Chains A and B, each alone.
Chain A
Amino acid sequence: MADVSFQDVTKEFPGATVAVDRLTLDVPDGEFMILVGPSGCGKTTALRLVAGLETATSGAITIAGKNVTHLSPRDRDIAMVFQNYALYPHMTVYKNLAFGLRQRRTGRAEIERRVTEVSAMLGLDELLARRPAQLSGGQRQRVAMGRALVREPKAFLLDEPLSNLDAKLRVQMRAELKRLHQQMDITTIYVTHDQVEAMTLGDRLAVMRAGKLQQVGTPQDVYERPTNVFVAHFIGSPPMNLLKATVAAGRAQAGDLSIELPHVPEGPCIIGIRPDSLSLAQGEDAPAALDFDIEVIEPLGGELLAHGFVNGHLASPDTSDEMPLLAGASESRAEITAKLDGRLRLKAGARVRLAVRPGEVYAFDAATGDALR
Chain B
Amino acid sequence: MESGALIRADRPLDLEAVPERRPRRWPFSPWHFFLIPLALMMLMPLVWSVVTSLETSSEAQRFPPVLIPSALHFSNYVDAWNSLPFAHFFLNSFLYSLATVAGNLLFCSLAAYAFARLRFIGSNLLFVLLLVTLMVPFQVVLIPTFLIVRNLGLIDSVGGLIVPNLCGVFGIFLLRQFFQSLPVELEEAARIDGASRLGVFFKIVLPLSAPVLATLAIIQFMWSWNDFLWPLIIITTPEHSPLQLGLSMFQGTHVTQWNLLMAGTVMSQIPMLAVFLLAQRWFIQSIAYTGIKQ
Q: A27 to nearest B CB, angstroms?
A: 18
Do residues A82 and B189 form an inter-chain contact, with CB atoms below 8 A?
A: yes
A78–B294 Cα gap in the complex (Å)?
24
A85–B203 Cα gap in the complex (Å)?
18
Residues of B within 8 A of A80 (CB): 188-189, 192
Do residues B294 and A85 form an inter-chain contact, with CB atoms below 8 A?
A: yes
Q: Is chain B's binding surface mostly helix, strand, loop or mixed? A: helix
Contact of A78 among B192, B199, B207 (CB under 8 A): B192
Do residues A99 and B193 form an inter-chain contact, with CB atoms below 8 A?
A: yes
A84 and B204 in contact, given A72-B191, A103-B199 (Cβ under 8 angstroms): no
Most B C-beta atoms less than 10 A away, residue of A79, A103, A132: A103
Contact of B189 among A52, A76, A86, A104 (CB under 8 A): A86
Contact of B190 among A79, A84, A88 (CB under 8 A): A88
Contact of A147 among B193, B199, B207, B294 (CB under 8 A): B193
A217–B194 Cα gap in the complex (Å)?
33
Q: Which residue of B lies closest to A104 (CB)?
A: B194
A86 and B193 in contact, given A103-B199, A132-B294 (Cβ under 8 angstroms): no
Q: A90 to nearest B CB, angstroms?
A: 5
The 8 A CB mask of B98-133 against A (1 = contact, 0 = none) is: 000000000000000000000000000000000000
A89 and B192 in contact, given A84-B183, A84-B185, A103-B199 (Cβ under 8 angstroms): no
Say whether B195 faces chain A, with CB atoms less than 8 Å apart: yes
Q: Is chain A's binding surface mostly helix, strand, loop or mixed? A: loop
A92–B208 Cα gap in the complex (Å)?
14
Say whether B180 faces chain A, with CB atoms less than 8 Å apart: no
Do residues B191 and A74 form an inter-chain contact, with CB atoms below 8 A?
A: yes
Contact size range, A = 20 to 34
Residues of B within 8 A of A85 (CB): 294
Do residues A87 and B294 form an inter-chain contact, with CB atoms below 8 A?
A: yes
Q: A101 to nearest B CB, angstroms?
A: 9
A82–B196 Cα gap in the complex (Å)?
19
Q: B47 to nearest A CB, angstroms?
A: 42
Say whether B186 faces chain A, with CB atoms less than 8 Å apart: yes
Apart from A52-B192, A76-B192, A85-B294, list 9 A-B contacts with CB within 8 A: A51-B192, A73-B191, A82-B188, A82-B189, A86-B294, A89-B208, A99-B193, A147-B189, A151-B193
Q: Mind listing 19 A-B residue pairs with CB under 8 Å?
A: A52-B191, A53-B188, A53-B192, A73-B188, A74-B192, A74-B193, A74-B196, A79-B192, A80-B188, A84-B294, A86-B185, A86-B189, A88-B189, A88-B204, A89-B294, A90-B208, A99-B190, A100-B192, A103-B193
Question: What 5 pairs across the A-B complex have the smallest Cβ distances?
Answer: A103-B194, A100-B193, A86-B185, A86-B189, A74-B194
